[in-house]
């Protein structure tokens, strides 16, 4: 059991005191299906000694039950909680996990890689400051790699860590790593991302996740955990340029059309002019409503005033 776990068990107030002044980083894992997103999160927690013994026992039992990997235990099961996810070995919903180190607190959103679950990926990314884009070293840049990177850019996420995973299956080749790195940089020229970093990893074996890899001594950079602990996100808030990614169009009747989502940056008020992309059409904000309950109340008030 880790020091943090022991402190929680013996002195919860002391644990909260230790962590109350730490910076909080919200990040997500994204990328193409089967690139190892859930396994990476499991490895982060496991190598940081942030998994309880009863959790490990449950994971070992479920690994034998669902037989999703050839390993003794499947670290991805720490975040793949739905029955259908465990049976199929995929991520469908967004799974959130909280953990902390001596330097920082973290909230992770593990998002699905399948195209049909892209909306869930957007939901998970909407509150994040950093994205770990997973790339399978065997396949390189894929369609969902491009799509998820573009969505992160659209949402105003300014920090990207490209984790080139499954390097063990490519004999830890430096040439493979450098080619994927060059391909991603070329693709990212079209995106508005200020900070892109690269790290070659094996989530399954733990190379360069929390601990440095002996098999990739040619890599001079920091481990993934070190990057997460040291990235600076304090100055990222943009209060000037309004960005509102639309996640859903709400049209309960013919007289109302609302656009649902999270305000990614900027300030906005009723009457402001907005431009919809990619069409370029302009409109004006007429009403804010956090829920349909408030919309119905707004209609009732408007009807009362018109009598």
| CATH 3.40.50.300 domain position(s) in the chain | 3-230
Is there a cis peptide before residue 278, judged by omega within 30 degrees of 0? yes
Q: How far apart are CA 33 and CA 53, in angstroms?
A: 29
Dihedral sign for Cα atoms in the order 34, 193, 120, 61: positive
Domain 3-230 is in which class? alpha beta
Q: Tokens 């509150």 identify what position?
A: 127
pLDDT tens for the chain, residues 1 to 307: 444 555 555 666 665 666 667 889 999 999 888 888 888 888 888 888 776 666 666 666 665 665 555 555 666 666 654 444 444 444 456 778 888 888 899 998 888 777 777 888 888 888 899 999 999 999 999 999 999 999 999 888 999 999 999 999 999 999 999 999 999 999 999 888 889 999 999 998 999 999 999 999 999 999 999 999 999 986 656 567 788 888 788 888 888 888 888 777 788 888 889 998 888 899 888 887 765 444 444 444 444 434 4
């Amino acid at each position: 059991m880790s020091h943090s776990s022991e402190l929680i068990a013996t002195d919860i107030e002391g644990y909260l005191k230790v962590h109350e002044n730490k910076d909080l980083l919200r990040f997500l894992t994204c990328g193409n299906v089967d690139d190892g997103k859930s396994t990476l999160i499991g490895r982060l927690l496991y190598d940081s000694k942030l998994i309880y013994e009863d959790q490990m026992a449950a994971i070992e039992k479920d690994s034998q039950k669902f037989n999703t990997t050839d390993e003794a235990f499947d670290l991805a099961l720490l975040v793949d909680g739905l029955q259908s996810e465990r049976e199929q070995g995929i991520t469908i919903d967004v799974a959130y996990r909280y953990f902390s180190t001596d330097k920082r607190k973290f909230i992770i959103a593990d998002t699905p890689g399948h195209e049909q679950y892209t909306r869930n990926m957007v939901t998970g990314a909407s509150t994040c400051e950093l994205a770990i884009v997973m790339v399978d070293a065997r396949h390189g840049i894929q369609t969902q790699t491009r799509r998820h990177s573009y969505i992160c850019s659209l949402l105003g996420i300014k920090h990207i860590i490209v984790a080139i995973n499954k390097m063990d299956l490519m004999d830890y080749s430096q040439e493979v790593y450098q080619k994927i790195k060059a391909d991603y940089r070329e693709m990212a020229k079209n995106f508005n991302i200020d900070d892109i970093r690269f790290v070659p990893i094996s989530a399954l074996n733990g190379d360069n996740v929390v601990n440095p890899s002996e098999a990739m001594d040619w890599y001079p950079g920091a481990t993934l955990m070190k990057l997460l602990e040291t990235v600076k996100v304090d100055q990222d808030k943009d209060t000037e340029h309004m960005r509102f990614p639309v996640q859903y169009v709400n049209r309960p009747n013919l007289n109302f059309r609302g656009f649902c989502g999270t305000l990614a940056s900027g300030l906005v008020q009723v009457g402001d002019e907005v431009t919809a992309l990619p069409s370029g059409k302009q409109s004006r904000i007429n009403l804010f409503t956090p829920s349909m309950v408030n919309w119905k109340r707004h209609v009732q008030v408007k009807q009362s005033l018109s009598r």
